A and B are shown apart, each in its own frame.
Chain A
Amino acid sequence: MDRNQLKKWFKSPAKMGHKYSLHVIYFCTGCGIIEIPPSITTRWDAERFGIIPVATPRQANLFLITGYVSVKTLKPIIRTYEQMPDPKFTVGFGSCPINGGMYWDSYNTIKHLDKYIPIDGWIAGCMPRPEAIFIAVTHLWTLIDKEMADGYKKYRENYKYYRANQEQLYGKLEWPPLFAGKDKK
């Protein structure tokens, strides 16, 4: 952890700010949310790394999808992701968002979440323990340092691909494209 190295702060304040002020919006789709209260309260205390839960996607910069994603809940996930302001990171938590997990043969569960929104990292396990969240966060710090956590850039560049996948699932979406200028090209 290089939070106290002032030289790095002067060199790239934005990057360091993103590393040590991860405000999380949790999407509690399934049982994964049960691991969140211990990690943000007394037992594991995520706040010492600057990680706090926030109430609205506008204030957040980390999106944690905890639990399986059904076809119905994918729509709010896309809308929440699109509402977050721009340098934003997404992490899938648990086996279910990765490949369906125990719902691998369900007709109603999304097996490839990263076809619809870009995911920067995954936490495997069913359930992952709260320590796994902290390991994921340290990995995310490394990714931010190397500028590899660029899901939001990928979403902007390949918006046509993501939008086509979303529309393939739902037919016509009721909100206009996020990057209208890019889509026309």
Chain B
Amino acid sequence: MSISNGVNIWEIILSPLIALIIGIFFLGLARKIIARIHWRYGPPITQPVIDIIRMFSQKGISHGFIFDIGIILSLTGSFIVILFLPLGKMCPLSSGGLLAILYLMLLAPLGIALSSGEAANPNSSIGISRKFLLALGYEVPLLLILLAVMTHYNTISLIEIVRIQSTTGWSFGSLPLLLSGIAYFLILPAILGIRPFEVVGAAQEISSGPNAEFGGKFLAFSTIQHALHEFIGISLFVNLFLGGWGLFGILEPITNTVWSVIFGIIIFFIKMLIVFIVELFINAVFPRFRIEQAVRYLWKWPTLFAFIGLIVVVVVK
């Protein structure tokens, strides 16, 4: 089960499953930690699972064919992106690398937009337009960041980038890519859709936005897609800047065994957990931007950092 160019059927089954478990665990953890910050006891950590069971047992109301297809499309898009992302040492599909991920990451918001557009709820329409504006906001710095990383490591393969980091040290710690890493950390709340960039699913303003017409199993699919989306955003950061499965070379003695895959996933999970909890603290203390403030911020500071980072990378090379 080590990394190879051939497609491993176990990895294709296991990788989305582990991603789904981690994503739903993060949803539960988020509610618990936010509750503790509010000095509340908070729901049990399994609350998202209970919610999803309840939603599946309710009778969803469909608004037409595109409404059914769109949410499936977004769920499929998220699962396909996960197949391209290295999870520890597991990476089922590796051809295409970062370019394929960048291209496929657009499928999930597109599916949600199709689905909620069919519902013809005005709140959904506002939510979709905000979603795409926000995507426009963070795609510009994200492209510059990925360009800097690809230029620095001379490859588009994410597996290769992680492997080089395991020998030369994390790219967040290396001087040329430090600014790009900071820029990615600044846009990460926008990618995850949490405060201060919670403009899309703002429950108090636009009745939870694109989710406004989702009930029953559609809401369950939407929740699962949200969990997968959180996994994608954080795991891309961990892979690009925090060295993926590498942790000061402690997996060196057991390379090419099953144990290295298992411990790789555990190390990867711990790194994701730390990044997620830091983002949660940011989520807990900040209010919400308006959409034009969010885009102005995203095009100012993260873009500036990413652009200078790209220039530094080119100059150092």
| A interface residues, Cβ below 8 angstroms from B | 3, 13-14, 16-18, 20-21, 23, 41-42, 45, 47-50, 54-56, 58-59, 61, 83-87
Instruction: Name B's A-contacting residues (CB within 8 A).
Output: 31, 35, 38-44, 47, 50-51, 53-54, 56-61, 123, 203-204, 207-208, 211-216, 219
Residues of A within 8 A of B31 (CB): 47
Q: Is the CB of B54 within 8 A of A18?
A: yes
Partner of A56, one of B41, B58, B59, B213: B213
Residue contact B59 to A21, C-beta cutoff 8 Å: no
A41 CB to closest chain B CB, in angstroms?
Answer: 7
Question: Counting chain A CB atoms within 10 Å of each CB, which of B57, B60, B61 scores highest?
Answer: B57
In the complex where A41-B38, A42-B38 touch, is A54 in contact with B208 (Cβ < 8 A)?
yes
Residues from chain A with a CB closer than 8 A to the CB of B212 are 55-56, 58
A45 to B54, CA, bound (A): 21
CA–CA, A16 and B50, complex, Å:
8
Chain A residue nearest in CB terms to B57: A14
Q: List 14 A-B contacts (CB under 8 A).
A: A13-B53, A14-B54, A16-B53, A17-B57, A21-B50, A47-B35, A48-B42, A54-B208, A55-B203, A55-B207, A56-B211, A58-B61, A86-B59, A87-B58
Please report the C-alpha to C-alpha distance between residue A23 and residue B213 in the assembled complex, in whole angstroms.
15
Q: How far is the CB of B222 from chain A (nearest CB, A)?
A: 10
Residues in A neighbouring B59, C-beta threshold 8 A: 85-87
Given contacts A21-B51, A47-B31, A59-B219, contact A13 B211 (CB under 8 A): no
Contact B42 A45 (CB under 8 A): yes
Chain A residues whose CB sits within 8 angstroms of the CB of B40 once the complex forms:
41-42, 45, 47-48
> Of A42, A49, A59, A87, which one neighbours B211 at CB under 8 angstroms?
A59
